[in-house]
Structure 1
């Protein structure tokens, strides 16, 4: 098959895009790597658009695996480019623009998971400090964050609204609208399950640093590999299929009421964190899924 990889970049920030290209070549595919900036649109012969991806006609690909960056001040342009590519007739995208937007948005993720009966925290939107105060009155201890965000940037905890109004004001000034959720204790850690198609080769337990509630490795949390129990694996695989994401990083919190899905990330990184063997299993899991879906179509 002819398969394109739509990369975040050429490996400077995301080494897994070039790694996907090399894995595809090893499996006998004709592979190309390009970025959203290299998508171009020209007039179609019967109106509409012709789309080129890295100077190749988009319709010439059997499939495109996307690890595209949608964040940034130019997000509207980036989403538009990915949507136009996703609309090319006959082209199989893994994954198309609507799936990516759903995975990036905290509101859309919560809506989709809840519709499927999967455990996810309740959410409130906040446009004013009064909205955040209402969330505090309902839940007491809360988390506030932007709907579109990554790497835990600007995720804050409000335990006392009266003394933390400056936190609320600052985030509202920057983002306009925020996500409010109840805070769940994290002292026993948070699970990260990385699903690749129909397998989940990378499973880790993240533990917050002493005195912190944050389970973010970039903010001092420790991590270790662990064998996920069958019910957790089943939950992660089901959530990935519900979201429509081929390669997903799920943050799942154990609570007194069972597992709670906090996030289904459509572009998980650090896929080589536990060594070459599991890195390869993850990349091959992506291609197993892509090949299966294309052959069935």
Structure 2
């Protein structure tokens, strides 16, 4: 097959994009890397035609999408991904509608809840009064922008009077923020990575002493776990509900079950548990892509 990898950028911030290209070649595919900026539009016999780094989009069998939609030029980026998603021929893993849902925490919560999956209740806030209303209802809350990554700009409000400036700063910068109840993280947070039909990376992340954040970039520790069957099943069902091929889920143990906090469409650090798990992730992605392409566009 001819498979393109739609990458984040050329900075090296996402080495897993390159790994997917190299692994595809190992499996005998003609694979290449390009970015959203390298999608171009041209006149053609049937209207607008697209090229991907100079090659006709229709010449690809599949495109694996790890693109970046964040930034001041997000409108152009979404437009390019939408144009690619509409091209007959290549199957995009995953197309623009899936990507937008994966990037938006509001859309994600809506879709997961509609599928009957456990997610925190949410409120939108456009004013300090909205934040105060959420605080009065839940007592201890999390504020964050709908569009964000790597846990940036996620804040906990446990004393509204003393932390008004934190809320005001987020509202000033993002206009609308998402509010949800805070759930204790002392027992850790699960990170489950789904690649097609398998979950090669199953970890428990533990916050550092004195912190509630389970962010490895801020000192949280992690350990590999054998995830319970019900947690694996929940993670795969959430990934399928969102239409994703590859995902990284943050899941909290909660009241005898689980609470899905987030489903990341561009999970990084896929080699964090070593080479074996890394290759299992890459294999899971390609197993899924190959099967779906062979099954046809309706599969």
The TM-score normalised by the length of structure 1 is 0.98
How far apart, CA to CA, are the structure 2 residues paired with 1:203 and 1:100? 23
How far apart, CA to CA, are the structure 2 residues paired with 1:10 and 1:235? 34
Does the CA contact (< 8 Å) of 1:11 and 1:17 recur in 2? no
SS at match of 1:228: coil
- The answer for the alignment partner of 1:142 in structure 2 is 141
Does the CA contact (< 8 Å) of 1:11 and 1:18 recur in 2? no
Does the CA contact (< 8 Å) of 1:195 and 1:201 recur in 2? yes
- The answer for the alignment partner of 1:286 in structure 2 is 285
- The answer for the alignment partner of 1:9 in structure 2 is 9
Q: State yes or no: 1:203 paired with 2:202.
A: yes
SS at match of 1:295: helix
- The answer for the alignment partner of 1:248 in structure 2 is 247
How far apart, CA to CA, are the structure 2 residues paired with 1:19 and 1:209? 31
- The answer for the alignment partner of 1:262 in structure 2 is 261
- The answer for the alignment partner of 1:27 in structure 2 is 27
Report the Cα offset of residue 257 of structure 1.
4.6
Deviating more after overlay: 107-116 vs 36-45? 36-45
Does the CA contact (< 8 Å) of 1:10 and 1:18 recur in 2? no
- The answer for the alignment partner of 1:113 in structure 2 is 112
CA displacement, residues 135-184 of structure 1 (integer Å, 9 cap, x when unaligned): 00110100000000001100000011111110111000000000000000
Does the CA contact (< 8 Å) of 1:40 and 1:51 recur in 2? yes
- The answer for the alignment partner of 2:187 in structure 1 is 188
How far apart, CA to CA, are the structure 2 residues paired with 1:13 and 1:163? 37
- The answer for the alignment partner of 1:73 in structure 2 is 72
Q: Which runs of 5+ in 2 are unaligned?
A: none
How far apart, CA to CA, are the structure 2 residues paired with 1:14 and 1:164? 35
Does the CA contact (< 8 Å) of 1:16 and 1:269 recur in 2? yes
Report the Cα offset of residue 285 of structure 1.
0.3
How far apart, CA to CA, are the structure 2 residues paired with 1:143 and 1:94? 31
Report the Cα offset of residue 11 of structure 1.
6.1
SS at match of 2:208: coil
SS at match of 2:28: coil
CA displacement, residues 215-254 of structure 1 (integer Å, 9 cap, x when unaligned): 0111111111111010000000110000011010000001
SS at match of 1:162: coil
Does the CA contact (< 8 Å) of 1:145 and 1:155 recur in 2? yes
* Cα gap change, 1:77 to 1:204, in 2 (>3 Å): same
The TM-score normalised by the length of structure 2 is 0.97
Does the CA contact (< 8 Å) of 2:60 and 2:89 recur in 1? no
SS at match of 2:147: coil
Report the Cα offset of residue 283 of structure 1.
0.2
CA displacement, residues 8-65 of structure 1 (integer Å, 9 cap, x when unaligned): 1246111111111111111111111111111101123233x11000110001100000
**Could you say what the CA RMSD is over the residues aligned between the two structures, in angstroms?**
0.9
- The answer for the alignment partner of 1:152 in structure 2 is 151
- The answer for the alignment partner of 1:129 in structure 2 is 128
CA displacement, residues 85-139 of structure 1 (integer Å, 9 cap, x when unaligned): 1110122000001101100100000000000000000000000000000000110
SS at match of 1:214: coil
How far apart, CA to CA, are the structure 2 residues paired with 1:167 and 1:23? 44
